Structure 1
Amino acid sequence: MEERKVVSIEDRIPKLKQTRRKKANRRLILYLSILFLLIATVVYLQSPLSNVNKVVVEGEQHVSAKEIKQLSTITTKDNYWKIDPGDVEKAVEKHIQITDAKVKRRLPGTVIIDVKEAERIGYIQEEDKFQPILENGTKLKASATIPTGDAPILYGFTKPTYLKEMSQELKKLPDSITSLISEVHWKPEEDNPYRIILYMNDGYEVVASIRNFSSKMPAYPSIVSQLTKENKGIVHIDVGTYFEAYPKQSKEDKSNDEEER
């Protein structure tokens, strides 16, 4: 038979004490680490290190980044972690030209404000100035800046109701179609107050109606592609769809025009 090795209590006590001491030390180190971390967090939150160090604006076009930052009211004195993105978004969206704002944080200390502006669908000329028109028909303050061709110039829209409807119709058009339009003139008739005439960048005229403008205008490129470059005239898309060529000038008229030039 094998003899069992008997360990006395006296021999086991030092080992038990050593094991307990190691556990106690590990527990103490853990508590001290947690305490140190809490103290460091409090110190960090109370120090300038936790403040915003940069505000970045993205997506702006006509509204300046400076103005958007002012609307947000965020400064480098604000605590980075105490900023409420929802409150900042609501403050920025109060601007008449901004339809949507998203706020996000990026370490270390950067706040990003991504905005979406209301589309400018046209301009109304007032003497030597141009008044931008937003997609909802709102008029902005007139500017001396000449439009860069990003939207057509609107003439004759003296009644806000028709201007608003025209704005909504232009908003529905794809950019590829809007870029072809140079001018839009409101030319109401007694039996058709929605009649408009468009002057296109390629030299054609278009007679249309505000009411069905966005549904019929996309067919314009297909219509003019079937015409020759010399055959300029008026494209009617108000009731039916047809082309009306300009009257041909006589040789005498052409010579008179050349003399006038």
Structure 2
Amino acid sequence: MAKKKSSIVKNILFFFIAVVIIFMAYLGSPLSKVRNIYVKGVNDLGAQQVINATKVTDNSLLVNVFFEKNSIIQKTEKKLPSIKTVSFRTHNLRDLTIYVTEYRTLGLIYKGGYYYRIIDNGRVINQKMKAPIGNYPIYSGFNSNKELKEISGIYKKLPDSVRTNVSQIYNSKTKLNPYRIKIDMNDGNKVVADIRTVQKKMQYYPGIASQMTKKGTVNLEVGAYSYPFKGNK
């Protein structure tokens, strides 16, 4: 009985040593290292930008990537705050895919010579950009977080056909109307509106614009009507 137990212990010990040797051999071979890195799910960010933030290279050990996964994710989200989620998957034994979900971009603001992204809830991402990205509106004159949250929330809820036509949104308050805003449209028209009613009234913009024979202003501040720019009669 004792000999049988001793034999079992030896077998277990040999198996353990064999596993350790195989594992060490694996770590020392090219098979243990990342071969190709792919990024999926990016929208406004570049794939290489995400890879650089993770600091994973084609010389990284796959086991380290997964052992340190949580740390890598935290560092990546800190480096790129517009990222909502990050996850990793392997395929073909050595290839690594980084899956990314970004917060939705609701516009840009320009200050100090750089553009900054505005995401859900009016949050401004502290990530400098020398040039605007995508087909997003640029907000001007909305200086407080409360104002940015309100106007970006309105933009988010506009009909798709209208939202993609918005170029710039200006805070154009006056003494008579502290809620007045102006909107430059990509089709060349301008809109004057009231921030309290613009979300509801902008649904009429496509119909009004289609009846205009000249580029001009669509006034939605009081009522809904249009008139051509001066000198464009």
TM-score (norm 1): 0.64
1:193–1:45 CA distance, 2 compared to 1 (3 A): farther
Contact 1:204 1:235 in 2 (8 A): no
Whether 2:183 is the aligned partner of 1:198: answer yes
Whether 2:142 is the aligned partner of 1:160: answer no
Which whole-Å CA distance do the structure 1 matches of 2:32 and 2:134 have between them? 46
Contact 1:101 1:114 in 2 (8 A): yes
Question: 1:196: Cα distance to partner?
Answer: 1.0
The one-letter amino acid of 1:55's match is I
Question: 1:56: Cα distance to partner?
Answer: 1.9
Question: 1:80: Cα distance to partner?
Answer: 3.6
The one-letter amino acid of 2:60's match is K
Corresponding residue of 1:218: 203
Gaps of 5+ in 2: 1-10
The one-letter amino acid of 1:53's match is R
Gaps of 5+ in 1: 1-30, 255-261
| Percent identity over paired residues | 26
Corresponding residue of 1:137: 123
1:217–1:245 CA distance, 2 compared to 1 (3 A): same
For these two proteins, the number of residue pairs brought into alignment is 214
Specify which structure has the bigger relative contact order, considering alpha-carbon pairs within 8 angstroms and separated by 6 or more residues. 2
1:51–1:191 CA distance, 2 compared to 1 (3 A): same
Which whole-Å CA distance do the structure 2 matches of 1:149 and 1:39 have between them? 51
Corresponding residue of 1:235: 219
Alignment map for 1:2-13 (pairs within 5 Å): none
Which whole-Å CA distance do the structure 2 matches of 1:109 and 1:247 have between them? 62
Corresponding residue of 2:47: 65
1:77–1:104 CA distance, 2 compared to 1 (3 A): closer
Larger radius of gyration between Structure 1 and Structure 2: 1
1:196–1:247 CA distance, 2 compared to 1 (3 A): closer
Pick the aligned partner of 1:93 from 70, 73, 77: 77
Corresponding residue of 1:17: none
Which whole-Å CA distance do the structure 1 matches of 2:52 and 2:218 have between them? 49
Question: 1:120: Cα distance to partner?
Answer: 3.6
Which whole-Å CA distance do the structure 1 matches of 2:219 and 2:108 have between them? 23
Corresponding residue of 1:47: 28
1:67–1:205 CA distance, 2 compared to 1 (3 A): closer
Question: 1:191: Cα distance to partner?
Answer: 6.2
The one-letter amino acid of 1:162's match is E
SS of the residue aligned with 2:135? coil
Corresponding residue of 2:3: none
